Amino acid sequence: MAEVYQAIRMNIDGQAWRTIGLEADGRSVWVIDQTQLPHCFGTRTLRSCEQAAVAISNMVVRGAPLIGVTGAYGLMLALQDDASDAALAAAFDALNATRPTAVNLRWALERVRDHVLPLPPLERAAAAREEAGLIADEDVAMCSAIGDHGLEIIQSLVAARPESRQSKPFQVLTHCNAGWLATVDWGTALAPIYKARRAGLDLHVWVDETRPRNQGASLTAYELSREGVPHTVIVDNAGGHLMQNGEVDAVIVGTDRTTRRGDVCNKIGTYLKALAAYDNAVPFYVALPASTIDWSLDDGVAEIPIEARSPQEVTAIQGRLIDGPAAGTLAQVQLTPNGSTGFNPAFDVTPARLVTALITDRGVADASEEGLKSLYGCG
């Protein structure tokens, strides 16, 4: 059973949680099983590197920062079984291959590998355990800082609204899930919303359903409901209509990989939201920790590998049965005629020119190489 953490954001039925942590034995890892949300909350225990890799591939855990932390613990699990150089390299490659787009995974794996490789084999598992824990704690701190910087933006936007809108809730649109469940705690894009809620701001969130896996409808809505944040789930194609009619004050999304010049790669459909925001003069913000910046890449469209997932995620959908003898159980149903195929790119790239600003753990930056270097130096 997961241990209780204090002074953190995620609250499930009155109990504080992170998304990942060590089991009581100190050798295995528990994670929240996100494939069962929002209808069933539970955890899974990972006891091997192979189980960690499957959890990442099958999206038991998802979200770039959380994938990275899970990968770090995956190396710990591998080293507990075999701490040789060859086993470490094999585990690194197996975990790194699970999700090719999110750079946090490679970043975390490299950090643990480089930390333990100089050590004697007998010391490596314990060192990996400690380093993975540090990465998790740092993620919480970075996401909290993102929330603080994003709160300042929201406060300034609220103050700048015309008098006619001052009595109305501040309207934020978000795409996919970049909250608690995508990180260890707090989230990236949702952290400013949680901080704003705590600060007493009156706000409302438009939640894109985010086909095909519906992370918005299932995960973001789940989080916001438990935080008590007013929200409405919308179909993915409604965002532009809402912006045209003055119903969106800002868009805030996350990112799985950000190039040094500020191109951002996020869940498929993000680019279309950025285009609609640009056309309607709605500010479009991207929230990210340092671990999501890939300083080796420049042109996101040309250089970021885009994961293609199973076509079945497009042609079928999971949900809870509403009526009948099996009411209340989870089931998959087919959406398309037999013989129709699906195409399922998991991400798209939004060019930096469409991004109003990047909300990072170190502050707010222009979406440019100069902007990022002003906060992080040369990477």
The pLDDT tens digits for 201-224 are 999 999 999 999 999 999 999 999
The pLDDT tens digits for 9-30 are 677 877 889 999 999 999 999 9
Q: Give which of 169, 226, 167, 168 is closest to 9, Cα–Cα.
A: 226
Instruction: Compute the distance between CA of residue 174 and CA of residue 151 in angstroms, rounded to an integer.
Output: 15
pLDDT given at position 3: 40
pLDDT given at position 10: 76
Beta carbons of 49 and 55 less than 8 angstroms apart: no
Confidence of residue 166 (pLDDT cuts 50, 70, 90): confident
- Percent of the chain whose pLDDT exceeds 90: 90
CA dihedral 204, 193, 151, 197 (to 10 degrees): 70
Tell me whether residue 152 is in a domain: no
pLDDT at 8 over 60: no
CATH of the domain at 77: 1.20.120.420
Cβ burial of 87 (10 Å; 0-12, 13-18, 19+) is: middle
Tell me whether residue 17 is in a domain: yes
Instruction: Compute the distance between CA of residue 175 and CA of residue 266 in angstroms, rounded to an integer.
Output: 9
Q: Where are the beta strands (DSSP E) in the chain?
A: 11-12, 15-16, 20-22, 29-32, 43-46, 170-174, 203-208, 231-234, 250-253, 257-259, 264-267, 284-288, 293-294, 316-320, 330-334, 347-350, 357-360, 363-365
Q: Which of 208, 256, 263, 361 is catalytic?
A: 256
Tell me whether residue 158 is in a domain: no
Asked if 339 and 278 sit in the same domain, the reply is: yes
Beta carbons of 253 and 176 less than 8 angstroms apart: yes
Among 91, 120, 137, residue at a domain's last position: 137
Structural domain including 290 reads 163-376
Tell me whether residue 151 is in a domain: no
Average pLDDT, the chain: 94
Q: Where are the beta strands (DSSP E) in 263-343?
A: 264-267, 284-288, 293-294, 316-320, 330-334
CATH of the domain at 234: 3.40.50.10470
DSSP class per residue in 119-177? S-HHHHHHHHHHHHHHHHHHHHHHHHHHHHHHHHHHHHHHHHS-GGGTTSPEEEEE-S-
68, 143, 153 from 149: Cα distances, Å? 23, 10, 7
Asked if 221 and 130 sit in the same domain, the reply is: no
Residue 249 backbone dihedrals phi, psi, to 5 degrees: -90, -30
The count of structural domains within the chain is 2
pLDDT at 6 over 50: no
Coil, helix or strand for 285? Answer: strand
- pTM score: 0.94
317-333 b/e (C-beta count within 10 Å ≥ 16 → b): beeeeeeeeeeeeeeee
For 68, the enclosing helix (H) or strand (E) is helix 64-81
Asked if 58 and 109 sit in the same domain, the reply is: yes
The pLDDT tens digits for 235-247 are 999 999 999 999 9
Asked if 233 and 130 sit in the same domain, the reply is: no
Asked if 261 and 169 sit in the same domain, the reply is: yes
Beta carbons of 286 and 359 less than 8 angstroms apart: yes
Q: Mark whether 256 is an active-site residue.
A: yes
Asked if 127 and 183 sit in the same domain, the reply is: no
Asked if 241 and 320 sit in the same domain, the reply is: yes
pLDDT given at position 379: 57
For 211, the enclosing helix (H) or strand (E) is none
pLDDT at 165 over 90: no
The pLDDT tens digits for 185-201 are 999 999 999 999 999 99
Mean pLDDT in residue range 52-58 = 97
Asked if 254 and 341 sit in the same domain, the reply is: yes
